[in-house]
Structure formats: C-alpha cells, structure tokens
Chain A
Amino acid sequence: MRMKNMTQNQTQSTSANKKISTYLTMIVLIVMALAVTALLIAVETYFVGDQLAAGVLAGIGLIALMLSVFLLYQSKLQSAQVKIEVPKVMTTIECKCGGKTVREFQRGDYVYKELDVPCQKCPTTKQMITAIYREIKEKEKTFNV
C-alpha cells in the first residue's frame, strides 16, 4: 500500500520535472531557430555588401547558438541526475519438496521466516522464505581495462 503511494508520488514528481524540462527545451529550440535565422541573414547581408551588419549578426547568431547548445546539454545532464528509481524487491519462497515461488516483497517478510501458508503440493509442510533481493536491469558500464 505504502509502496504504491510512494511510486505514485515518484511518478508525479518526475512528470513535474518533465514538464519543466520540456518547457525549457522549447525555449532553447526557439532561441536556436532564431540564431540560425540570424546567421542566414548575416550571409545574405554579407553578399549584399554591408559587411559590418553582417559581422554583428553573425556574432549574435553564433553566441546564441552556443548558449542554447550549452543549455540543452546541461538540462539533459540534470534530468538524468534527478531520476531516482525505486527498485523492485522480490521474495523467494521455497518448500522442502523443491517447490519454489517468487513474489513481490511484502512488509513483514524476512529471510529464514517460516510461513503459515502451506505449499500447494504438500499441505502439511511449512514453507520458508529463502531469499529477498532486488534485480538490477541495466548492466554496469565496463571500461575494458
């Protein structure tokens, strides 16, 4: 129950983050478009002959382009950092007959706990929790050294 609440909160906060980051990305993209336009106009003005105006426009365009690329890069870095994943923890239950079930962790579970729930094959013997662990999906980065 609590787990569920928490995951909900988590998704809420990440969606809020996402909203902010999409907003930011939009602004950055607009700035980028403007910068590219400025550069194009600069080329045009250069060929017309007004070199001073062309230089100023080119400068503005380049600076804006650089800034927006930098911002985009940084916001991407940040959004990658803020994400905190909640790992799924699994409980393994084994019976003496060899029967094995894996289910999600419930509060009150602990390793070597004898459960009152009997096994499906042999209702007289008690089952025991033999392992509680979390599995990590993504492989750790190796650096080939």
Chain B
Amino acid sequence: MSLIPGSDSSITTIISLLSYVFFIVLIFYGQRIQMYVMIREVENSLHKLRHIKEEGRKNAIDAIKEIGKPTVDPSARVDRYLEYFTIGPQGMDPAGIVNKLDHILDVRDERLKEEVRLMAPSSDETQVNNLENTLEAAMALNFIYKVVRHYYIQGKKTLSLYVIMQIQMILPMVMKEAEAYSSALKAFAYGQPIGDGAGPLVAGKLMQGYETRKLPKDCVMATVPIEGRTALIIKAEGPGGNVGKPGDAVEAVIEENEGKIALLIMIDAGLKLEGEIVGEVSEGIGAAIGGPGVDAYKIEEKLTKYKIRNYAVIVKEDIGDAVSPMRREINDAVDKVIERVKAVIQERTKEGDKVIIVGVGNSIGVGQ
C-alpha cells in the first residue's frame, strides 16, 4: 500500500495514508470548509461596513453640531432618523400608482426636512438640504450594514451554504456602493459638488448672466437665446443638495408654452459600463432621468401629449463617481456637452423655435 511503487518504507506508507485521509475529508467536508471561508469573508466585510457606518454617523452628527448649533445633543434623534423607513404603494392594481408614489415621496421628503430643521435649528435652507443629503447617505450605509449582517447571522445560524452564498456573491458590489456612500456623505457635509451634478453644472453654465425664476418643486429656469433659438433652461435650485422635481418643472413649462416646444434636451450623468471612459459624452433619445421614475413618467406623458421630440446627452461615470466629489474629467466634460447641445439645436430646430434644456441631477455645490 504505497504511493510510489517499489519503495516500501514506512514513511511513504504514512504519506500515502495521510493523503487518502485528506482526500476523504475533502469529499465529505469540502463544502463545509468552503462555507467557513465564505463566512470569514463576509465577516471581514461586515467589520469594515460597521466601521464605515459608524464613521458616517459620526460625520453626520459632527456636521449637524457644527452647522445647526443645536441646544441638545442630536445623537439620539440622528439614531432615530437612521432607522426611518418608507413603505411603497401597493401595486396589485397599478393604475394611478405613480401619483401615489409621488405623494409618498413628497411626504417623506417633507418629514425628513422637518426632522433636520428640528435637529439643526440655526441652519438656512441650503444647509438643511445639505444635512438632509448627509443623513440620507448615513441612512443608506446603516441599511447596507443591517442587510449584510442579517445574511451573515442567518448563514451562521443555518450553516447553509446557499444562504451565505447569496451575500458573498454580491459582496464586492455592495462594498463598492458602501464606499461610494461614505465619500458622498463627506461631500454632502461640506457642500461639494458631486459627479451626479454634471447636468446642473451644464445648465448653470448656460444660465450665466441671465435672470432666473423659480419653478414648481425646487427648480429654477432661465430664458437664454442660443443660436437664434429661445432656450428655456431648467435645473434644480442650488447650491443646496437637492434634485428638485424636474418632472413638475418641465410639465409647467410645457403647459405655459401651450406645447409649442420644438425639442426637449435632457442632460444627465449616466452610469458607465466597466471599460468605458469617465467623462465621456454620449447622445441618445428618451427621458434621461433616474430616481423612482415619477419624473420620467410625468415628462413622457407631456411629451406624448404634444408630440415633442426628446433628446438626451449623458456624461458617463460609475456609481462611485456619481456620489463622490466631482472628478476633474466630469468637470471638463461640461464644455463638450454644451458643444453637443448647440449642435443638436442647430441641426434639429429652426430659428425662432423654443427649446427646453434640463440639467438633471443633484445640484449640491452648484449655483446658478
């Protein structure tokens, strides 16, 4: 009974015996060993997530204390805020669900802002918006941590490979998102523009030197002559952290002009695939707007009613770039976007036409 034929010493016998034992152990316990490795991996990430989450909470509280000058310690209120949840509308009978969702989001927004005002009494409107964004990032981190912890504990309890596998498989993406939120939180606390602000940045540049007026739900508009056409430029009101409701704003502007709009151009930050270059500008068709879909729905409704063409220009970036302080490449893309927009207007409209240009995105750190 030896591995190497011809050599029959005791040492080779032991080695061959050991290798058989090793083989049998692997057959029966291989999966379990694999599972323990996975659990370790999740555990490591969980520790890191807890660290990120705690740091996020601390940064948020520090920002509130510094900006809002509260009389009482806001920690308890912040902890309560981090646990807030939102229940989406019932979808069994989906007719009219967009309005229900819209209403729920309005209530949520109002409630969260109210809460921030109580936490940070001496902050102005811009700062309330920034703090709300900061707290929402902390909320997202808290939620990610809790979900990963849930799967980790459940995996340990059931010792089921499939429970732990579910979280282990998506862990790299989850960690990337958590890191993105972590850097977003800092940007929000300081009021720095983020990658998602590419749209408002372009709109703000086009608006420079022209008078702005307010539009429904935290948006502003300026009337700007471009290439002999009249451009109605819309962006979320800055420099507070705010995405506004471009859906409502576009709706209002189209109705004001009785649908006599030649073209709608939406500028937004678009998620890039791996391998694409950050800050690349590309063109397309459709409502370029993220979020829960309420704004896209409203815009599409109006466009269909008046048969208005809808073009989109996006600046490519990944999720991490979108929520962390704006990268130079994205900032440099602004001029390229303006060039594209002007080309589209020249080629696709006649002189004297009216064109709506919407800079979609969070206008934190971007004025007008």
Contacts and interface: CB of A to CB of B under 8 A. Distances in A.
Answer yes or no: are A and B bound together in one complex: yes
Interface of A: 2-3, 6, 51-52, 54-55, 59, 78, 81-82, 84, 86-87, 89, 105, 107-113, 131-136, 140, 142-143, 145
Contacts of A6: 59, 186
Interface residues of B, number: 40
A30 to B, nearest CB: 23
Contacts of A87: 183, 324-325
A132 B193 contact: yes
Contact of A133 (B62, B327, B368): B327
B327 A55 contact: no
A3 B14 CA distance: 63
A59 to B, nearest CB: 7
A136 B367 contact: no
Given A84-B182, A89-B192, A134-B325, A112 B10 contact: no
B155 interface: no
Contacts of A51: 9-11
A84 B179 contact: yes
B328 A89 contact: no
Q: Top 6 closest A-B pairs, CB basis?
A: A110-B239, A55-B11, A112-B367, A133-B331, A51-B11, A133-B328
A25 B174 CA distance: 29
A96 to B, nearest CB: 11
Interface in B14-56: 14-15, 18, 44, 48, 51-52
A43 to B, nearest CB: 13
A127 to B, nearest CB: 14
A112 B330 contact: no
Contacts of A110: 191, 193, 238-239, 365-367
A143 B11 contact: no
Most buried by B among A89, A111, A145: A111
Given A52-B10, A113-B367, A82 B331 contact: no
Nearest to B200: A111
A82 B178 CA distance: 13
Contact of B18 (A3, A59, A109, A111): A59
Contacts of A59: 15, 18
A132 B14 contact: no
B239 A113 contact: yes
Given A54-B11, A110-B366, A111-B193, 20 more contacts: A2-B62, A6-B186, A51-B10, A52-B10, A55-B14, A55-B15, A81-B48, A87-B183, A89-B192, A109-B365, A110-B193, A110-B365, A111-B204, A111-B367, A112-B366, A133-B193, A133-B326, A135-B327, A135-B328, A145-B275
A108 B191 contact: yes
A111 B327 contact: no
